[in-house]
Structures are given as C-alpha cells and as structure tokens.
Structure 1
Amino acid sequence: MTAERSGSVTDAEGTVLDDIDARPGSTASLLRTLIGLYLRPLGGWISAADLVALAGDLGIPTAQARTGITRLKQKGLLLAERRHAVGYRVNPDAVTMLERGDRRIFEMREMTDADSWCLISFSIPESARSIRHQLRRRLQFIGAGVVSPALWICPGHLQDEVVDIVTELDARAWVTLFRAGAPTTSRTLPEAASEWWDLDALRDEHLAFQRSLTALPDEPFAAYVRLIDSWRVLPYIDPGLPPSMLPADWPGGRSYAEFARLSTTLADAAWQHVRELTGAVTAEAARS
C-alpha cells in the first residue's frame, strides 16, 4: 500500500506494492488490514501506543508489532506524526488504494451472462520487459484471465482499473482495450474459463477461506479483522465469473454468503472496541 499514481503505490526502488502483496494472517497483512479498516474512520491518525495495543488484541506481540509498523512506514503506508502523543497517520498517497480496496472487499460483483468483458491486447518490446512483467502481474492481481500471452480478459466493470494500471505503468502506447460481449469458442464456456483462469487454484482459495472461518476468535474485534484479512485477497483474484462459466459445485457462492453474514454480525462490535480503546468520539456522541 507508497509515491502513488492513481491507485497504486511504489516504494523507494520503484517496485509496485499491490493491495495484496502480504500473505493473509501474517503480521504485515494483519496490520495492513487493521490500518485499512480503522485509521480513516478514526480521522486518519492513531497513537503508536493504541496501534500496538490493537495489534496485541490480534495476538501480535509488542516487539513484532513495532517492527511491522516500522516496515509499513518504510513502505509509505504510514507517516509518523506527533500530536498529543507519538503516532502515525495514513499517507495521503495511499488513500486511493485503500478506497479501491474498500470497494473490492465490501462490494464484490458477480457477473451475469449479459455483462460485458474487457479484452486487453498488448505488444511490449523487449526493451520494456520490466513493464511487461508488471503489467501481467497486476492484471493477474485484479482477476484477469489469460487467453494468450498478449491477450487478457477481465470483467467489463474492471476496465477503469485496467486503464489506471496501464497509465501508471506508462504503457498506453503498447496496450489496446476492447469492450466485448460473451466469448465464442469451440469449447464450452466452463472449459474455456478453466484455461483462461486457474479455477483449481481459485477453488482452493475459497475452500481455505471457508476453513479459516472455523478458527475465528471469540472476541468480535479480533474475529472481524481476521475475517477481513482472510477474505480480502479473494475479491482481487476471483473475477466473479458468471455461473454459466463455472462448475456446478463452485464454492464461491458459499464464501460470499458467509463473508456477508459474519461481517454484518461482527462489524459494529469490532468498531466499538476500537473506539473504546482509542477514546475516539463518534459524530453521534459529539451531538448528544
């Protein structure tokens, strides 16, 4: 999540740091999930002590939390800022990426047969192979499928994200986008989808997410943050293909339903815990 151009962030060496570049369940991923969920509602700033305390409620030891926070500051997600205490604020350059993550996590879309597709055709010279590598990497991270090495496909509603990626990589001279209807092939649509996307790997991700639900903590705050942390990769790598392109026993529907049910159940109690720990004053309380 670091100088940002319209939606992604780069580190000091110019490496693009994607929204999902940390392994779910790791200290880095849990801290990023925590920051993404709560720092903006808290006004964009949190004291170092409160951030470490919240990390502790997630089972992250103090020393490990401080090291993880330092690394996120180095990557540019956080900026050190002293107010009444030592603390951190969200880097304004990371806000667009966080907002994009909100849309993906909480507004995941499933396609219908009537929806359009976006085709991405590119021919990038060997002299710009690093850009070609980044383009393929980032298209994969938004759930695009590979029709051929230089022709990728994704849901039409993701076209704006593709445009952002191409712009950020300064690859517009080499990339052409097409809006298209349903693909026509000599194979069935499920067969084509299984070649363009790694559906076996996606199935494994859904099943792993569903297994993770059985290990959620009892405490609502820790359960909610770990729920979001386990879920947040799926809305990126799963394009939400229409049912006509998926096997009959596809597990995605159950994942979506369980995420919606649990997030609705846990969100308010988790936010209440954050408010109490940080002493945050809500708008409702300020008016009363």
Structure 2
Amino acid sequence: MTGAGSVNTGSAAGPRAAGEPYPRLRPQSLMLTYLGNYVLGRDIAVFSGSFITTFARLGVGEHAVRSTLSRMVGRGLLMRHRSGRRMHFGLTPRSEEILRDGEDRVWRHGVLNDDWDGTWTVLAFSMPESWQRVRHDLRARLTWAGFGSLGNGTWIAPSRVDVRPIVAGLGLNGHLKVFAGAAEQPTDVAGMLREAFDLDGLADGYRAFLGRWDRPDPLPGAPDDLARHLWLTTEWLQLVRADPRLPVQHLPADWPAIRAQRVVRELRDRYAPPARRLADEAIEFIRLR
C-alpha cells in the first residue's frame, strides 16, 4: 500500500491505520463510484482539481487521478470540456449506462435471490479455436450477466435471461444454443451450483467485507464519511458484480451475503447525507446545458 502522493492507476487505495483492515480498490473503480453518486443525472462536467482534492481523502495522489481521468477518456467513459484554462470532465452515454446498471444492481435488486421461480437459462456455444478474442469477450459478458460455466462451452444462469443483448456484436449467429426451463431429477442442483460458481470465493469476499464494516465504528482511520461512503459502495459494487444472485434455497443457511446486504444498507443510510455535503463542498463544475 503506497502513500497519498505515490499511488498509480494500477494500485489499490485505502486508509492506513495500525492493524486496520481496509479495502484494496483501484482508482478507476473509486472514480466510477464517485461519478455515480455525485455526477450522474446532473448534466455537469467536473473540474479536474475537484477530483484531485476529493481523491486525496482516499490516499490517491494527483498523478494517479490525472492518469485515471485520461484513461477513462480513452475508453469512452469520460469526455473533456475546456472552460477557459480549466479542464473539466463529464460523463458519456456509455458511462451513464454503466453507472445506472451498477445502481440497479446495488440498490434495487440486491444480491439475494429469494423469489426464484426455478427457471434456469442454459447457453451452449461452439466456435473455431482461432476465435480466441471472441471467446474471451463472450465469457466476460456471460460472467457479468450472472452465468457460470459447467465446462465444454456450457453456461448456466439461475433465471430467465435474454442473451441477445449479451452477445450483440460478437457475430455468433449459428454458434449458440439457448434454452430456458426447470432442472429435472436427478439433477443435483446444489452440486451444479458449486461446479459452475465459486461459492467459496464469493463467501470469502462477503466475510472480508463484514470483517471490515460490521462493527460500531468502521474504518476509524478514514478521514471522513465521504471517504467511508466511497470505499463502502465501491467495495460492495465489486462484490455484487461478482455475485450471480444464486437462489437462496440452494445456498448454505449461514450465507454471509444475507448479513452483508443488511450492513451495507444500514451504513449507506448513515454515511450518505454527510458524504453528500462534503462532496458538494469540494466539487467545482460547469453545466453542460
């Protein structure tokens, strides 16, 4: 873990206190959380100095912030807007879509699939070995959409999923087969879940989250509630993105996501109002319309 002046865009950021656990989060992940909470829906472009001031709270130095902003421009996630001698950064349609999807996953849907109707989506694909890039892109998209691999090009998701937007643009017509329905006997559903999804890894992630946040005074070394709010929601979003929302009835009774979801919502209610005030005090922007 490096200090405030020496973190680069590939490094994790977090508070440093003796014996204190902290989230290791990439500056771009933190940036997306900041944009989703304090820029999305406002039709503004934020002064680069405001990012630098705010991210100093998180142990992210000026060079790392500027590098992250530049990379996000290059990836179509931010757009530059010059006002006099100052550079501002605003959202793009692509980043707005990503941020709204993250908001839906975190706060509207949650991680607990407690109303599952028993439907599975099964996708099988076959493509030439030379299509390695397409294969990689498809696997990444399927994982993001909540699918798990059973091997040999067969993937499952515990819900009815419209795969058309997932595979759009990959040129896979004729290379995919998709089915939806219930699992029939003698399928071992619990065993199938363990085969397709890393349940141990998911549970470890939630337990680490609880170890950090399920306490009366989380992250006492943090400078303020804006920093806590950004760390909390960024870490939670990463857990949610890795979680395929598996049916609760097929998970262990002590599944840690149940407690973790309760904790994150309680802490969000605690941190959000003071974090908003601090963010508003630190932000300088121009209106785009």
3-state SS in 1 of match to 2:40: coil
2:246 is matched with: 241
Cα distance in 1 for partners of 2:11, 2:37 equals 16
Cα distance in 1 for partners of 2:199, 2:229 equals 27
Cα distance in 1 for partners of 2:90, 2:225 equals 25
1:195 is matched with: 195
Q: Does the 8 A contact of 1:189 with 1:244 survive in 2?
A: no
3-state SS in 2 of match to 1:176: strand
Q: Does the 8 A contact of 2:88 with 2:285 survive in 1?
A: no
3-state SS in 1 of match to 2:130: helix
2:3 is matched with: none
| 1:215 has 2:219 as partner | yes
Work out which of the residue numbers 125, 140, 146 in structure 2 matches 1:122. 125
Cα distance in 2 for partners of 1:41, 1:267 equals 17
* Runs of 5+ unmatched residues, structure 2: 1-9, 13-23
Cα distance in 2 for partners of 1:229, 1:47 equals 22
**Larger relative helix fraction:** 1
Give CA deviations for 1:71-120 in whole Å, capped at 9, x if unaligned. Answer: 22222211110136321111223222222121112222532342422221
| 1:153 has 2:152 as partner | no
* Runs of 5+ unmatched residues, structure 1: 1-20, 282-288
Give CA deviations for 1:229-287 in whole Å, capped at 9, x if unaligned. Answer: 11111222211212221122211101111111111221222122222222679xxxxxx
- Normalised to the residue count of structure 1, the TM-score between the two structures is 0.80
Count of equivalent residues: 258
Q: Aligned letter for 2:50?
A: D
% identical aligned pairs: 26
2:63 is matched with: 63
Cα distance in 2 for partners of 1:147, 1:63 equals 43
| 1:87 has 2:88 as partner | yes
Q: Does the 8 A contact of 1:190 with 1:247 survive in 2?
A: no
Cα distance in 1 for partners of 2:252, 2:128 equals 38
By relative contact order (CA 8 Å, sep 6+), the higher-ranking structure is 2
RMSD: 2.5
Give CA deviations for 1:34-72 in whole Å, capped at 9, x if unaligned. Answer: 223222244241111112111122222223222222222
Cα distance in 1 for partners of 2:170, 2:256 equals 34
3-state SS in 1 of match to 2:174: helix
Work out which of the residue numbers 276, 280, 285 in structure 2 matches 1:275. 280
Q: Aligned letter for 1:215?
A: L
Q: Does the 8 A contact of 1:212 with 1:230 survive in 2?
A: no
3-state SS in 2 of match to 1:121: strand
Q: Does the 8 A contact of 2:111 with 2:261 survive in 1?
A: no
